[in-house]
Amino acid sequence: MTITLFIPCFVDALFPCAGISMVQILEGLGHKVLCPEKISCCGQPPFNSGYWDEARTVAAPVLEQLKDAEAVVIGSGSCGAMVKKFYPELFASTPQAQLAKQISSRTWEFSDFLVGKLGITDLGAKFPHRVTFHDGCHGLRELGIKKSPRILLGHVQGLQLVEMSEAETCCGFGGTFAAKFPMISTAMGEVKCASAAETGAEYIVSNDSSCLMHLQGLLSRQGKPIKTIHLAEVLARQ
């Protein structure tokens, strides 16, 4: 099948390895991958800040680019939720309302696409480390993704998954929230990091690079040994 891969703006600029891993995995499964160069951002920052007109300015060309896609795969639960859940709301009672709904129904978050759509559980990956999984809130609560990443991690050779008590607690990133309320955001991140550390994991794995950016930022500043890594990168390790 032909898969249109939507690489979120911060993955493009800051975490290319996660995007590259997704391409390698999807191509390795024999699918054709497209990455529309004209897509940069889903429009979530202005949308979440209440600037819906400005969000539509960013999102309308995205709809146009995804119009003919057979399947849209997004490498982030958060941007995935934006396209799948919030585009229909953002474009409700606009001429693109129908298009937004159609694209929503063809859009998948990366791990959910592998497990839910393709039925893949074992990618033959090896990652001999103790890890814990962070559920990004958008993936977990907007898209209802809980099992897929764990199923995939469960088949990675040598990997030991240890759940943390605060797995479902927000890491404190929250997009512009992290900059508008840095102290609250930091406190939340500290709670999360402490919970991850309790598991004795070497890595915090997540399907959302934005959460990981926040957590890694805190961990690096505090000189903590635990590292962060995107799920796709783990799954691409052979």
Partner 1 sequence: MSTFAAQFLKHARVMSGDLRHRKIIRTALGNYEIARDQRQAAFQDWQGARQLAAVIKWEAVNHLDKYLEQFVAKLEARGTKVHWASTGDQAREIILQIVRDKKARSIIKSKAMTAEEIHLNDALEKAGLNVVENDLGEFIVQLRHEAPYHIVFPSMHLTRGEISELFQRELGSAPTNDPEELTMIARRVLRKKYLTADIGITGANFAIAETGMISITENEGNARLTAALPKTMVTLMGIEKVLPKLADLALFLPMLATMGTGQQITCYNTMYGGPRQPGESDGPEEWHIVLLDNHRTELLADAEQRDALHCIRCGACLNVCPIFRNVGGHTYGTTYSGPIGSVITPHLRGLQDWKHLSNASSLCGACTQTCPVKIDLHHHLLQNRRNAVKGKPAFFERLAYQAFGFVANRPALWSIAKKLGRLGQPLQKLVKGSALDPAKAWTQTRDLPPQPKESFKDWWTNRK
For 157, list phi and psi in degrees, rounded to 5: -65, 135
> Within 174-203, which residues bind partner 1 (CB under 8 A)?
174-175, 177-189, 191
Neighbours of 46 (CB within 10 A): 18
> If binding is defined by CB under 8 A, does position 206 make contact with partner 1?
no
For 134, list phi and psi in degrees, rounded to 5: -100, 120
Q: Which of 29, 31, 45, 120: binder of partner 1 (CB under 8 A)? A: 45
DSSP H or E run through 6: strand 2-6
Distance separating alpha carbons of residues 24 and 183, to the nearest angstrom: 38
**Contact region for partner 1 (CB under 8 A) — 41-49, 94-102, 106-114, 198-206?**
41-49
Q: Closer CB to partner 1, residue 5 or residue 114?
A: 5
Q: CA geometry: angle at 52 spanning 48 and 55, to 5°? A: 80
Q: Closer CB to partner 1, residue 55 or residue 235?
A: 55
Q: Closer CB to partner 1, residue 132 or residue 156?
A: 132
Question: For the window 130-159, what string marks contact with partner 1 as x by the rule CB under 8 A?
Answer: -------xx-xxx-----------------
- C-beta separation of 36 from 231 below 8 A: no
DSSP H or E run through 5: strand 2-6
Residue type, 173: F
> Within 74-113, which residues bind partner 1 (CB under 8 A)?
none
| Residues of the shown chain interacting with partner 1 in the complex, contacts defined by CB under 8 A | 7, 9, 11-17, 19-20, 23, 35, 37-38, 40-41, 43, 45-52, 54-55, 57-58, 61, 137-138, 140-142, 168-170, 172-175, 177-189, 191, 213-214, 216-218, 220-221
